[in-house]
Amino acid sequence: MKYPSGLGRNRLSRAVHACVPLFAFSGLPESAEADVLAIKGETIHTMAGNAIENGVVVIEDAKIKSVGPAADVPVPPGARVLSARVVTPGLIDAHCVIGFTGYLNQDQDQDQLDPNESIQPELRAIDGYNPQEKLVEYVRGYGITTIHTGHAPGALISGQTMIVKTTGNNVDEAILEPVAMIAATLGEGAKPHGDPKKSPGTRSKAVAMLRSELVKAQNYLKKLDSDDEKKKPDRDLRMEAISQLLKRELPLLVTAHRATDILAALRLAREFNLRLVLDGCAEGYLVQDEIKAMNIPVILHPTMWRSGRGETENISFETASLLTKDLILVALQSGYESYVPKTRVVLFEAGIAAANGLGFNEALSTITINAARILDIDDRVGSIEPGKDADLALYDGDPFEYTTHCIGVVINGKVTNDQPQ
């Protein structure tokens, strides 16, 4: 079996850390629970201002109570203390299928896509998410504390997405947002493969089918508003889901790579006044003026995604930099992989983007505060600020250096990982 990349390195890092103590604990034994947790960092990247040197984060009741230089933020008596060279907000994977696709890569753990129909917006992510999937634990070990996950690209409308923390024994313990977006695909990914009789067979047909569903939902809403009870429609789960797009209660997440498909998504958004989030965008740099004009956020493809053929033949390491310099709000994702190791790690994707024009701060933003803003959860996560959820990642060096280890993870004020990854 081929395991997720990095597992061999993890074994090596454990051996290294058995000899070199880089993660210091004090205050209480590791097994004890403390009401107050203090994180000391040689550098703390709050993502809410300049980095803090020799800083402290105080956590109480699952929330960040205070953060600042050690001279200004004393460690409360009796607090459990963790120390690291670099502290960041818990990382956010802006789009993945973790918890739906499984590391075994076998039929029984692949719930990310139902290929039987082209349009299934009624499929709820909350009904399929598996918080016990080993890939959840795997990415958490690199500092990823929040994921936007759900039904994968590969159908015209594949279903709903959700936002969860990478912790919890069941979905209720993990949930942050039970319904985040409705996932759609344009381009080659929307075409059903293996059955030429199924629709959509062309790009025009795909957009026409989407437009038709939106028009049906408009009529459904009109009937619901009728004063005549006899004219009110029977409950329709599909129409209920599409109606949330029309009422702007949910964004439409459109995976599109070719410039022509990106423009088609923009046209639909204008026509029906939709909240649109672009996903993938391999050729986004070709139409960035149009994206910027409509103020559309982009969840960009993984930086190191495979390229060279098909819709991603024009992929670039520099797309994140180009879009960001044009003031387009960009987040990075691990995406969906149909082959093992089944998931990428956004920490590494951001590191490559940092080295290809994006720079450290902007790269870290794509997997923290930018991702939180696009997902509309920045009131809770994405930065280290008083009142926000106490989600932090601790490292023994520059997070984007491959030789650096994630040496601790805190989610909702609890230490979930305290061994080097």
Residue 92 CA to residue 372 CA, distance in Å, equals 7
Q: Which of 240, 245, 248, 305 is nearest to 279 (CA)?
A: 305
Q: What is the pLDDT of residue 421?
A: 64
Per-position DSSP letters for 226-251, written without gaps between them: -S-GGGSPPP-HHHHHHHHHHTTSS-
Residue with token string 């990106």: 262
Q: Do domains 7-88+383-417 and 91-374 have the same CATH topology?
A: no
Q: What is the pLDDT of residue 336?
A: 87
Q: What is the pLDDT of residue 194?
A: 62
pTM: 0.91
Residue 374 CA to residue 221 CA, distance in Å, equals 27
Cβ atoms 146, 90 nearer than 8 A = yes
Structure-block tokens of residue 218: 């408009």
Q: What is the pLDDT of residue 307?
A: 78
Q: What is the pLDDT of residue 7?
A: 34
Cβ atoms 160, 177 nearer than 8 A = no
Length of the chain measured in residues:
421
Domain chopping of the chain, boundaries: 7-88+383-417, 91-374
Residue 384 CA to residue 64 CA, distance in Å, equals 7
Q: What is the pLDDT of residue 24?
A: 47
The low-confidence residues of the chain, meaning pLDDT below 50, are 1-33
Question: ∠ CA(126), CA(132), CA(137), 5° rounding?
Answer: 115
**Domain 91-374: which CATH class?**
alpha beta
Average pLDDT of every residue of the chain = 90
CATH code: domain 7-88+383-417 is 2.30.40.10
Question: ∠ CA(240), CA(246), CA(252), 5° rounding?
Answer: 90
DSSP code, position 356: I
Cβ atoms 63, 390 nearer than 8 A = yes
Over its C-alpha atoms, the chain yields an Rg (Å, rounded) of 22
